[in-house]
Amino acid sequence: MIDVHEAHQLILATTPVLGSESVPFLDALGRVLARDIVATEDTPGADISTKDGFALHHASLQRASAQAPVFLKIIGESAAGRPCGAAVAAGEAVRIMAGGMVPEGANAVVGLEFATEDQGYVVCTSAPKRGSSVRLRGALLKKGEVVFRAGSVIGPSEVGVLASLRRAYVPVHRKPLVAIVTTGDELTDFHEPVLPWKTMSSNLYSLAALVMEAGAVPLCIGIVKDELKTLQAHLGEALRADVLITSGGMSKGRYDLVRETFASLGMDMNLSTIFGKPGKPAIFGKIGDRLVFGLPGSPPAAMLSFAQFITPTLRKMMGHSQVSPPPAAHGRQEADGGGLLLLNAMFNRGRAAMPGEDRASLIPAKMPSP
């Protein structure tokens, strides 16, 4: 029996980081890059004006001042996305807008505060320096420069950068496929009739939702009867997934057969009992290279155990570097907006108090509003 912190460290030490796959860049949102993203071209791809004004060669205005303005002939116009085809020579200028490409022969832009138009000429009263108001080619990114390092998480701003780099597909770590099995003859599902001795298998769907919340892909195997051969068949098939999670059948009763089934499938059990709550009873190990978690049948305990141990595991498999578990029970309760409190109340109302346990303490003092 080990404590929660030791269990967490043991599980993560056993957890691999999955390989990569190429996905459309919008589908990469929230996922982790598996390789560096490198610029394949300069950004911007040409010299660009940073203001409205006139593009010219700075030598043409060396002596320009308010007392001695210089007149330059306007030979064309360059707007954003509409470059001027003419080259600028001495004594010439091109009308230019912010974002417009600086024409050949020009190396500076004089702003409208120092220039006015007069019958096809621009009258300049200031002498800009070489490169003034010009964003040079490659000023933002050089071809071959690393833009994002492997291990970076893709957010909305990163999506915008990927679009600007024309990266329609990006390499990210693969999402784990997580098979979920709930066990127990007392469980029922939506397609089955309502019977007084049956309980809806809520864990199947709560755990699937938690898998999705973590960013992985759930595979709901469904409810499996408390029969050894049936469990062996279904759990053996579920091992095609990257991770297998079972719920229920973890105690020492006559029909609690999950441990025996795992043992028969060759499970290398890394831990079998966690000291303290959440997580007791719970098991973790590997069958081949597949990670296997056996969770309690109690819905609150199963959800809290998932948050404590499986969420960090899935995040590490997807390449995340920050995989610390959340603060214990209250963090999960707050995140669920009262849903966990309600599950806890529904579960505990169906059982008697254990020896030395206050029955009233089984029901939350504050129930969520309907």
Rounded Cα gap, residues 101 and 165, in angstroms = 19
pTM: 0.77
The class level of CATH for 21-43+144-172 reads alpha beta
Q: In the chain, what are the domain boundaries?
A: 4-17+175-352, 21-43+144-172, 48-135
Which class would CATH give 4-17+175-352?
A: alpha beta
How far apart are the C-alpha atoms of 191 and 248, rounded to whole Å? 21
Using one digit for the tens of pLDDT, what is the confidence trace for 233-244? 999 999 999 999
Mean pLDDT by runs of 10 across the 370 residues of the chain is 79 94 96 96 95 95 88 95 93 95 96 92 92 95 95 96 95 97 82 78 91 96 87 91 88 67 84 55 87 89 90 96 64 52 55 43 38
CATH architecture entry for 48-135? Beta Complex (2.170)
pLDDT of the residue at 193 = 79
Tens of pLDDT along 14-51? Answer: 999 999 999 999 999 999 999 999 999 999 999 999 99
Average pLDDT over the chain, rounded to whole? 84
